[in-house]
Amino acid sequence: MTAQRTWTGRWVAERAGVGLVGSDHLPDLVGLALRENRKRAHLLVSTVLGKHVPQRPSVVHGAGLDLGLRVRALLGAEAAARAVVLGYAETATALGHSVADGLDAPYLHSTRRPVAGVRPLGGFAEEHSHATAHLLLPADPRLLAGDGPLVLVDDELSTGTTVLNTIRELHARHPRSHYVLVALVDLRTEADRHRLADFAAELGVRLDLVATASGAVRLPGDILDRAERLIADVGPAPELPPAAAPAPLVRVPLDWPTALPDGGRHGFTPADRARLDAALPRLAGQLADALGGGLGGGLGDGDGGGGGGGLVGELPDRILVLGFEELMYAPLRLAGALADRLGGDRVRYSTTTRSPVLAVDDPGYAIRTRLAFPAHDDPQDDAPRERYAYNVAPGADPDRRFGAVVLVVDDVADTAALAEGERALLTQLRQVTDRVVLAVLPSYRPEAPVHPSLPFPESSAFPEPLAVPESSAFPEPLAFPEPLRGPGFSSYGPDEVAWLLKDLSGVPLEAPTEEREEAVQHGGAHYAESLPVEYRPSPEYQELYHQALRASARRMAVAVGTVAETLLRERGRGLVLASLARAGTPVGILVRRWLAFAHGFDAPHYAVSIVRGRGLDPVALRYLAAHHHAPGVVFVDGWTGKGAITRELAAALAGTSFDPGLAVLADPGRCVRTYGTRDDFLIPSACLNSTVSGLVSRTVLRGDLIGPDDFHGAKHYTELADGDVSAAFLDTVAGHFAAVRDEVALAAGRLATDPDRTPDWAGWAAVERIAAEYGIGSVNLVKPGVGETTRVLLRRVPWRVLARRGAGADLDHVRLLAAQRGVPVEEVDDLPYTCVGLIHPRYSRGATGASGTAVVGEA
């Protein structure tokens, strides 16, 4: 650190007692500031990262290039040729990309922005951050599937926990023998260094470190309290002084090369790097022309020539190229190319951020000024809705003023919120500079999203991208049937759900339960060829239903919100809901209502039929593929039992572009990745049949009623309207949405970073054990969970109910139904479900198995 320059960590060091020790040049690389974050009070502010502090683009890019060259020397040419680089959002996306440039290696960075149609390959947590969840969204999952060295890049290593979480997640999927950690500064304690070394030894891998500087941060024990007092003493950032007139704004739609990624969110290859290098002079010419347009004329023809002749002297002395959150690399390279074109030392580079940091206009503090503005990229996760640009406004020092600001965003962030309103970013930028250029580049959208894993334990390997067009699996009929809507079909509103079903309301299909079992037994009938007689609940049972609803509605609202937020985070606003009729349909409606409530988003919602042994309705699938982007369709159900429908769904969608993942409110069977909870709790709609499901029957598939171009069928029971509680059920649960919003945000955040989301099919194993213990010849006669047990009592010939000892009020309705049918309830210990329903072995020859037809059991 030179004597002429004040260290930008002095203010925090003196007032908060924070010390920085280590490499001699460490203070040249970082200053200090205070976070508005109770998890971690201090912020190391890099002077060479290009995030919070404007810096020469050659310095920012050069810091990463140097690290990349050092990694290449460490690995050797042969291993370097097989390396892949992974950077961290949001701060290190450009640093990681620059390291990859030095290695000439493929690159991917984590992201907090979900992208419609791209299913996350994985994710991990950054515990100290203000927004902890990271997603990995490679267009081709093979990018991380090799066995070459994986280079993980972050701006600083404070504890090493983030990289540990990353390695644990990725190594479980694709083990490799060598990992390299890269950072500008390594500030881990000795204990943290040993922890990471022990972790590497446990995995049996080599783990190397390459850093520009190392050291340690010394914190007083009461740092959080000290920081809180200092933040309160400083107070809020001052308002910007009114400008005499807003600076002119020029919009430049950049002539970005077609299909060239704008960064590493979905992967960036050496071939992409060559294309970008070739295009940069032309793109810099566009920016130079825009800067010169209000300063005396154009700046050349954009062919990548020099500085634009005599006009250069009329340009501002200081020009800032401002990137946008994760979009760091493209603005950095544009800034470098612009600096080369204009000549001199006039261009600086930095980016906006999500991190809330205290601003103090003091030369000894790293964050001098702060612009706070509303998010303008339609945020869909649990991150704060306010964003920040630091050290852009000049503050009290006029020498720090930028004469022009070039703001670079992608088209996703080019929204009304960027420009409209007093606090909008563009509005504020026009008050602190003399000219604003808005450069918009296209956000890269993978053409053929890959959806990596079927929900089976054995299918962990990522499949090759499909080689056939998306619609080829579904030849389109000449015309589709029209979807059915309420009130003509169902008691739901016409906007709540479109039923991809054929109306069979006039066809007599009902038979008593025992007769249906006999028909299956003697005639080889399929269970979907007839319907059970609809159960008409007694007044006593109706009261139990209402008690269950009052007790469970809030818990169900949390589960609905958790599922909805997870789907939005992972699929984006392109998602289409397809509920499995009929138990899944109220859940689909509630998820749709949450999206409208929390995000103002009206998701399309369809109800489709799935039949065990016959799969999903193929005409409904063709309809969805013809009307929507297939990878954006999400299949929704109420709960899982042992996972038979989950398997049926995956088998039906194999070889298509549809994502086979099922989303449910409760996953006690542990067989899906997207769920509201894995507890086996009572979802009140399981207590009833059609009267809580829009007055719609189970679905029907019979050759004489359903033709090759028909949807599967169902009935609308208008005669049961006097007992219909469908709308009241939805309204009761949705009535809790506002009260549980914060709880949902926490639950969805936990799920996003939960390493145990991968299905382990523990429910199926438990069912096999129960079948063996009770001498039942087929697991299809064992129906685990509250919902499935209720169905056994309502529709089948039950033998007995196994109840977890001390299960309590959740099973009141089960006990009542069992008493009405003369079925014993046996309390047992060590039951993984709240209860399990067993179908009577006497009728097991007529019970339906995996194919939907008879199975042979023991008498």
Q: How far apart are CA 208 and CA 205, in angstroms?
A: 10
- pLDDT(469) > 50: no
Residue 844 has pLDDT above 90, yes or no: no
Residue 295: per-residue pLDDT: 36
State how far the Cα of 179 lies from the Cα of 206, in Å rounded to an integer: 6
Backbone angles phi, psi at 693, to 5 degrees: -130, 40
Report the pLDDT value the prediction gives residue 312, as an integer from 0 to 100. Answer: 40
Give the lowest-confidence range in 50-64, 198-212, 619-633, 717-731. 619-633
Per-residue pLDDT, averaged over 356-368, amounts to 95
Note the pLDDT of residue 378: 63
Q: Of the candidates 854, 749, 839, which has an alpha carbon nearest to the alpha carbon of residue 523?
A: 854
Of 4-13, 20-29, 108-117, 405-414, the poorest mean pLDDT is in 108-117
Tokens of 468: 């056939």
Instruction: Summarize the confidence of residues 817-841 as an average pLDDT.
Output: 88
The more confidently predicted of residues 206 and 829 is: 206
Would you say 544 and 812 are in contact if contact means Cβ atoms under 8 Å apart? Answer: yes
Query: Looking at residue 68, what is its pLDDT?
Result: 96
Q: What percent of the chain has pLDDT over 70?
A: 86
Residue 795 has pLDDT above 80, yes or no: no
pLDDT band at 514 (very low <50, low <70, confident <90, very high): low
* Buried/exposed 49-65: b ≥16 CB within 10 Å, e otherwise: bbbbbbbbbbebbebbb
Mean pLDDT of 273-284: 94
Which contacts of 463-470 are long-range, i.e. CB under 8 A and separated by 24 or more positions?
464/142, 465/140, 466/655, 466/657, 470/625, 470/629, 470/630, 470/656, 470/657
Which of 51-55, 518-522, 550-554, 783-787 is least confident? 518-522
Share of the chain above pLDDT 90, in %: 52
pLDDT at residue 232 is higher than 60: yes
Query: Which pLDDT value is given to residue 758?
Result: 83
Tell me the pLDDT tens digit for each residue of 3-15. Answer: 457 899 999 999 9
**Whether 332 contacts 60, CB under 8 Å:** yes
- What average pLDDT score do residues 138-161 get? 91
Closest to 34 (Cα-Cα) out of 50, 46, 18, 55: 18
Residue 142 has pLDDT above 70, yes or no: yes
- Note the residue count of the chain: 859
Q: Which residues pair with 539 in a beta bridge?
A: none
* Inter-residue contact 246 to 432 (CB < 8 Å): no
Which parts of 362-469 are beta strand (E)? 370-374, 386-390, 404-410, 436-441
Q: What is the pLDDT of residue 628?
A: 83
Q: Is 214 left (phi over 0), alpha (psi -120 to 50) or beta?
A: beta
Taking residues 131-135, what's their average pLDDT? 61
Which contiguous run of DSSP H or E holds residue 701?
none
Give the residue-averaged pLDDT of 625-634: 85
Average pLDDT in the chain: 84
Give the per-residue pLDDT at 692. Answer: 93
Cα–Cα distance between 536 and 723 in angstroms, integer? Answer: 9
Dihedral class, residue 12 (left if φ above 0, else alpha if ψ from -120 to 50, else beta):
alpha
- Best mean pLDDT range from 79-83, 130-134, 164-168: 79-83
pLDDT, greater one: 308 or 102 = 102
Of 677 and 454, which is predicted with more confidence? Answer: 677
Kindly report which listed range (26-35, 179-188, 562-571, 846-855) carries the lowest average pLDDT score. 846-855
Q: Report pLDDT for 124.
A: 53
Query: What does each C-alpha distance from 838 to 501, 615, 767, 777, 800 come to in angstroms?
Result: 31, 24, 10, 12, 5
pLDDT of residue 530: 82
The pTM for the full model equals 0.55
Q: Residue 547 pLDDT > 90, yes or no?
A: no
**How far is it, in rounded angstroms, from Cα 788 to Cα 668?**
11
As a whole number of angstroms, the distance between CA 286 and CA 301 comes to 8
Confidence grade of residue 571 (pLDDT, cut at 50, 70, 90): confident
Under a CB-based contact definition with an 8 Å cutoff, are residues 116 and 628 in contact?
A: no
The winner for highest mean pLDDT among 289-293, 488-492, 574-578, 760-764 is 488-492
* Identity of the highest mean pLDDT range in 40-49, 319-328, 535-544: 319-328
Which of 98-102, 228-232, 544-548 bottoms out in mean pLDDT, i.e. has the lowest? 544-548
* 244: Cβ contacts below 8 Å, ≥ 6 apart: none
- Which pLDDT value is given to residue 470? 34
φ/ψ of residue 516, rounded to 5: -65, -40
HSE, side-chain direction, 13 A CA sphere, residue 859:
0
Picking from 579, 480, 511, 557, the residue whose alpha carbon sits closest to that of residue 747 is 557
Distance CA 585, CA 481 (A): 20
Where is average pLDDT lowest: 310-314, 349-353, 481-485, 754-758?
310-314
> Which range is most confident: 288-297, 415-424, 840-849?
415-424
Distance from C-alpha of 848 to C-alpha of 521, rounded to nearest angstrom: 9
pLDDT of 460 strictly over 50: no
- What is the per-residue pLDDT for 238? 74
Q: Tell the burial category of 654 from Cβ atoms under 10 Å away from its Cβ (0-12, 13-18, 19+).
A: middle
Q: What is the pLDDT of residue 297?
A: 36
- 157 or 842, greater pLDDT: 157
Residue 476 has pLDDT above 50, yes or no: no
